[in-house]
Structure 1
Amino acid sequence: MPDQPLNEGMPESTPPAETESTGVAVAEGQAASDDKPKPLNQTVEIKDVGPCKKHVKVAIAREDIDQRLNERFSEMMVDSFVPGYRPGKAPRKLVEKRYGKEVSEQLKAQLLLQSLEQLAEDYKLNPIAQPNLDPFKVELPKSGPLEYEFDIEVAPEFELPEYKGIRLKRPVREISDEDVDKGIARFLRAYGKQVPKDGPAALGDVLLTDIHFELKGRAISDAKDVQVQLDPQLTFKDGVVPDFGKQMVGVKPGESRRVTVHLAPNLSDQSLRGSQVEADFRVKQVFAIELPEVTDEFCQGLGLMSAESLRTGIRLALERQLQYEQRRAARAQFLQMVGAAASWELPR
Structure 2
Amino acid sequence: MNITREQVDALNAVVTVAITKEDYKPKVDKVLNDYRKNASIPGFRKGAVPMSHIQKQYGKAVLLDEVNKLLQSSLNDYLVEEKLDILGNPLPKVTEDFNWDTDDYQFEFELGLAPEFTVDLGATNKVVKYTVVANDKMLDEQVERIQKQYGKIIPKETVEEGDDITGTFTNEEKGINNTATITTDVFKTKKDGKKFIGKKVGDVVTLSTKGLFDDDHKLMDYLKVSHDDVHGLDIEVNFTIEEINTREKAELNQELFDKLFGEGTVSSVEEVKAKIKEDAEQQFAQQADQKFLNDVTEALIENTKFDLPEEFLVKWLQSAGEKPMTAEEAQEEYNKSEKGLRYQLIEGKVITGNNLQVTFEDLKAFTSVLIKKQMAQFGQTNPTDEEVDGIVARVLQNKDEVKRLSDQLMSEKMLNLFKEQVKYKEKEVSYEDFVKEMYGE
TM-score by length of 1: 0.35
- Structure with more strand by fraction: 1
- Structure with more helix by fraction: 2
Structure 1 or 2, whichever has the larger Rg, is 2
TM-score by length of 2: 0.28
Q: Which has the higher contact order (CA 8 A, sep 6+)?
A: 1
